Structure 1
Amino acid sequence: MLYQPQGGIWIRIRHRFGPRMTEWMLAAITALWGAVLLLPAETFTGQAFELFRAARISENLMGTVMLFLGILRIAGLVVNGARREVTPWIRMVSAGCGFMIFVGISTAFALSGSVSTWLAVYPVFAGIELVNIYRAAHDAGEGNAVP
């Protein structure tokens, strides 16, 4: 049987934070990506953002959606960490959404024909999301018994 921390909400959140740190980081990256798009400066002006412009989705709309999804994922992680009975399904769904986001960003950059630092960042984020999906599925398979 795995160790289940006793005590208050803060102890449960702290105990579960370490193994889920990549989930927290990618949630923050998603939210911050959206926040950057909401800044007054135009972001989609460079060649690398050609497909983002072609999608005819405004930076404000995409920024709002990304900020919302990042904050929603953070909220889900807080709920998951605070509950005595954990909910790995929230983590699996949010990691799956994160995977699609980072694959989408990678694909848009790749199809623009621009080689840049995106190549070293967003595909790795997508790979980390696959690991997060696996870990959450493993937790679900253990009947919610997560350290």
Structure 2
Amino acid sequence: MAFHTTLFGLVLVMVPDIFDQPSWAGFRSLGVTEAMLGWLMLVLGSARIGGLVVNGARKHVTPLIRQVSAAIGCMIWFGIVYGFASSGVVSTWLAIYPLFGIGELVNIHRAAHDQGETRNGKAA
């Protein structure tokens, strides 16, 4: 999901008039530009990749990093769903981005479970 966020941001930065398309009208109404949203997603996605690298390099896992980044990812993907839904155009976004948001909820749950095991020991 970190790479999806980063690449989505990259597309927004590289295609400056993407919000002019009808399916992106909801994003225009939010008062953000392609560049603003693109750079935000690039920074957050890159930070999440960095956090996952740190998490993987440590002997003891840091589930809090995963929880926070998944929570931010959840807000991003459901925000994107809101932007597309606000456009009134039904497209393939409906089959993709809501599932990304739900996937982030699963990631939050799994990281919270890992944090519980780290704090309390493995459950039998």
Moved over 3 A (4+): none
Q: Distance in 2 between matches of 1:53 and 1:113?
A: 13
Partner Cα distance (1:114, 1:106) in 2: 12
Q: Of the two, which has the highest radius of gyration?
A: 1
1:30 alignment counterpart: 5
Map residues 1-147 of structure 1 onto 2, 5 A cutoff. Answer: 26-143=1-118
**Residues of 1 paired with 2:14 and 2:54: CA distance?**
29
Structure 2 equivalent of residue 5 of structure 1: none
Identity %: 52
What TM-score, normalized to structure 1?
A: 0.78
SS at match of 2:20: coil
Report the Cα offset of residue 66 of structure 1.
0.3
Unaligned residue ranges in structure 2 (runs of 5+) = none
Query: Aligned letter for 2:95?
Result: A
d(CA) in 1 for partners of 2:105, 2:31: 29
Residue 51 of structure 2 aligns to which amino acid in structure 1?
G
CA RMSD of aligned residues (A): 1.4
Distance 2:106 2:15 in 1: 35
Unaligned runs of 5+ in 1: 1-25
CA distance in 1, matches of 2:18, 2:44: 19
**Closer, same or farther: CA 59–41 of 1 in aligned 2, 3 Å:** closer
Give the count of matched residue pairs.
121
